[in-house]
Structure 1
Amino acid sequence: MIDQKIKTAIDLVDYGLLRVAVATPEMKVADVDFNMAEIGKTVRLAKQKKSQIVLFPELCLTGYTCADLFFQQQLQQKVLESLPLLAQLSAAEEITLVVGAPVSVSGRLFNCAVFISGGKICGLVPKSFLPNSGEFYEQRWFCSAAERQSDSVLIGSQQVPFGSDLLFQAENFPAAVIGIEICEDAWSVVPPSGSQALAGATLLLNLSASPEILGKNAYRRALVASQSARCLAAYAYSSAGPNESSTDLVFSGHSLIAENGQIMAETERFQFDTQLALADIDLDRLQGERQRNNTFGAGNPEQAFRLQRFKIPSLTVDKLYRSIAKTPFVPPDDAERAARCQEIFQLQTSGLMKRLRHTGSRKVVIGLSGGLDSTLALLVSVKAFDRLGLDRNGIIALTMPGFGTTERTRGNAEELAEQLAVTLKVIPIDKAVQQHFRDLEHDPDQHDITYENSQARERTQILMDKANQVGGLVIGTGDLSELALGWCTYNGDHMSMYAVNCGVPKTLVRYLVDWCSREEFSGRISTILEDVCATPVSPELLPPDADGNIDQLTEQVVGPYELHDFFLYQVVRMHFSPKKVLMLAEQVFADEYSRSELLKWLRQFYRRFFSQQFKRSCLPDGPKVGTVALSPRGDWRMPSDAAVTLWLEQLEGLE
């Protein structure tokens, strides 16, 4: 878990975030006063950490292992007397808490979750599935939720809603809808949380007393993570700790918080003192995921629910209990990154292999510049040819030096083609482009968009005509980030017959080439690939500097790709508002970019993303490799003439 530092305090609710804590407090079996005192300490600790909701384990007021003591009138009465005191605690600390307690209703004893907020007991949710095999004997003491005879129960002077059909919604934060299940409910074939999620619950709470046996913690993690993913929800799970009776079992206090399949936080197991784990849940994100998932939209809950209202306190925080990926497309862990590179390379290779098999083509044509994108496309083509058993001579690499080509990139391109044993053709474009300038009556000393795009389109014409000549396919080299920004020449490098890099963002391209240098190739080839990775990103359409080095640096013109890929993920994958994208960017880039710089490049991103959609509306075929893709036939459908005004307006005044 990463405590992400914040430069400017933010209101959690304003950004769609909810701070949730799961607790495993110190406790004594059957000692309600002691347990109440520890719950109070834990609530105050959670409040210090600015939690808005804190979840406690199953039957935490008494302990899960009371056995036949659950029938003792004195114990039951003590529990009932304690609940109003917890309500007072919730009001004093301005926090919502959910505790486990045995409660008698209509002559039946139920294992309940008690939802308490704002000085009020908002509802009691009884356990639905009572395990009664192996080490469990719950049916000896408790009745199932299906056996309830009443919709409410009198606690003190308050008539409290009672039943497994309760959901709890924050009146000042409508996205915060909470569903509750208890321990075994989650392990059942059809957990109640599924229906709760379909009815709108975005946060699912589980009060548990899960005894520990060999290997169970891994299964528990998988269960919590998968249920959060299946329900497109956050799932908080609080489990009883080792202070429970050890007569026959040991409890570990393994409490977890997951969001949409990812474990966000968890407690340390086998600790006798109080354990607390926190996470900031992004409810905006969860609602967005649901809106885009038509399978979720088509689902119907198996029962009707009664909605109970409560209030979430608004508060500002100075750090987030939430990990924010600085490079959302590039895992920071070396092993995970290598595994992802291998998977993407296989996806690219397999996509090209299918196209070659379908067309019967035994030749491909690639414009090889010596830059990252064209190098990756060449490596994909080589691997595809090798897997198909085709001669690498069928890969025709064209270097087409122009006005901005440097010796470094040209040298790398030509030597790489030679080392890989592909066919190399060198076709200078200077004279053809100069003739084109004369035909257009364009001054060659005017280094404008005509000067640049004439070179890109000349190269594309050569590639297309060469492909016709040899009966092959032109392999596109442009990447996902270039497509997002429209940093490509329409009907120039924008066009190909199959685009192998179209799903790969720029920040990942470099790692893919680096991975290939270490895992797929060796010797001199690896050395060349390492230098390609170290070469600045440039289209090389403007003349080099006086020393023959690259003078036209892409990131100085359109902005840093690390920022644009971050923006791309938050805008297209998460659909966050500009204000939220900026806030998240500040969390991870504040030490490198000022707020004004972040705003500058975010405005640039929105302007280019909207204005350049027409290029994405007619993209060539190419494989999707990750969760973000911009193909008009797949993930992204957008009118080419949509106005960006609404998005830019929100950024105004945030300087």
Structure 2
Amino acid sequence: MGRKVTVATCSLNQWALDFEGNLGRILKSVEIAKSHGARYRLGPELEICGYGCADHFFESDTLLHSFQVLRNLLESPITQDIICDVGMPIMHHNVRYNCRVLFLNRKILLVRPKMLMANHGNYREMRWFSPWNQLRQVEEYFLPRMIQEVTGQETVPFGDCVLSTKDTCIGTEICAELWNPCSPHIQMGLDGVEIFTNSSASHHELRKADQRVNLIKSATTKSGGIYLYANQRGCDGDRVYYDGCAMVAINGNIVAQGAQFSLNDVEVITATLDLEDVRSYRGEQCQPHMVNEPKPYHRIKVDFSLSSDDDVYLPTHQPIQWHFHTPEEEISLGPACWLWDYLRRSGQAGFMLPLSGGVDSSSSACIVHSMCVLICQAIEDGNSQVLEDVCKVVGDDSYHPQHPKDLCGRILTTCYMGSENSSQDTCHRARDLANHIGSTHMNINIDAAVKGILGIFSLVTGWWPQFRASGGSHRENLALQNVQARVRMVLAYLFAQLSLWARGKPGGLLVLGSANVDESLTGYFTKYDCSSADINPIGGISKTDLKSFLLYCAEHLQLTTLRSILAAPPTAELEPLTDGQVSQTDEADMGMTYSELSVIGRLRKISKCGPFSMFCKLIHMWKDTLSPTEVAHKVKHFFRMYSVNRHKMTTVTPSYHAESYSPDDNRFDLRPFLYNTRWTWQFRCIDNQVTQTEAKNPKQ
């Protein structure tokens, strides 16, 4: 009857500038799509060159190599008899665009440039690309000679147009266009487009996946239609992790769902759907165009059908219930997948983690353990690429991990770097956790190194600094804490480079950091201390979420020692013990709790609050526990700490991006690092408001 279509979308683990690898993964996805009967294949945004090329988009080489890959795709027998929709950068009239290229049987059908750009948070598309702002307009694009030689075409349509096959009409959206209030699918649907496609490079954030699903369901609930969503997967070479979630929807229902977190480099989702279901839905929901609607879309006609004449017995996909991960599961899976991509592509042999026995470093350790669980499961499921990568990492072609604990012992080295200020409790907690996850563990005492450095200072100056507890000044106390922290960083890198050598094994280790997002907000860490590392899997995660994550690990991964870690007060253990017990705690040092910091961080970044507006919000949010004066004190204290320590963000370890209130100076949070830390005008406004508030509401 010619009314049922089989379409394919995918998640690909593309890597910026890895043209050869990217080409191979695209071809594999097309091959899988065809094997499932699909006649249309959609891929992620900028999949040919990789989304994260950043300023490499300015280079002519990136455009050249993208066209070379496109030529390979056009010539490949794999891409014949299926409409392929691929993403790449293209320069038209000396303007650079983020484009989709649709081709069939060695002919380019159309080039559709992105119209609405992602230009906030982690995204800087307006830096490299221009939006196509000519609605419903199509121009001629002159193809490079290397493409003309294959296609026999001199020019192809370029612009805001749709593809009309013999049986249906297909319209394109690109990533951020779905999120925009003027999404193209609205007008395309009103103009009779039945299949919408969206190629994305959308990153993972905690608690974000439902937003995508709801937007896609909404897009097809309003006016009917089929929606295909493709997404990048993996670490593209930066701080974000693209989390897949390829899907297909029809008339407000999801009918096919890809994995959100997976070690598969290529995942293809196919669905068979009945076009008559779209037409019946629209027959009741949609009305003819109103008089002032824009002109119809330019339709590029192609002599090809997505359906076949004998599809009456072909079953169609039915609605499914989307499974959302809990935030604890997301922390367990997202950073773990990101770490695996980073490790296997870095050429290193594993990780080195300073393990203090506290929540933060224990969280980093548990994420590595979770990575090992995912790797072993992927190998058990027959993923030959993962097994090959594992063998390369451990330097043993015959290695086949039998258990996550065994693998963890091969690729994770942990070390407890204690001093005379460290307690036995933290030492035992670190040792017990290392035993539970199977890491190769070491105990290192740093006292000799600290005394040696202080001896050099004393030899030069004739002075020996003292802790505050021994009568020293604040400056002495802080310097003595910092030297311990920085010694740990030096030792972590020394052991990362040479510990495998000392064991007669090849390779070096990547140093893992473990500073959480809340500590970064206030700068509660030493610059160039053991929070300085190669990468940090928890740098975008709040302390509150990390505690919930460890509780999840204790319950689901049987890491029972985590309960004692969770019960202990967070401490840096950089000041002398009192009667053998810790006297220094993180929350006391910071002057606020971690839960308070999370609220402040969200107000600062997400709600765009300065000191005064933050105070005005918090006096209502915290009215049951704090007076206006106390709220004012908290706000002032935070902004002093934030501004005094903002310079630390210029050197912060590249961290997995998981929170939208991340203070990462390098990519996400573009704010100064030299401030007037007195905030005189702002704090005076707060003081005036406190006075007015207390005058109106005197204490009873």
- TM-score relative to the length of structure 1: 0.48
Larger Rg computed on CA atoms = 1
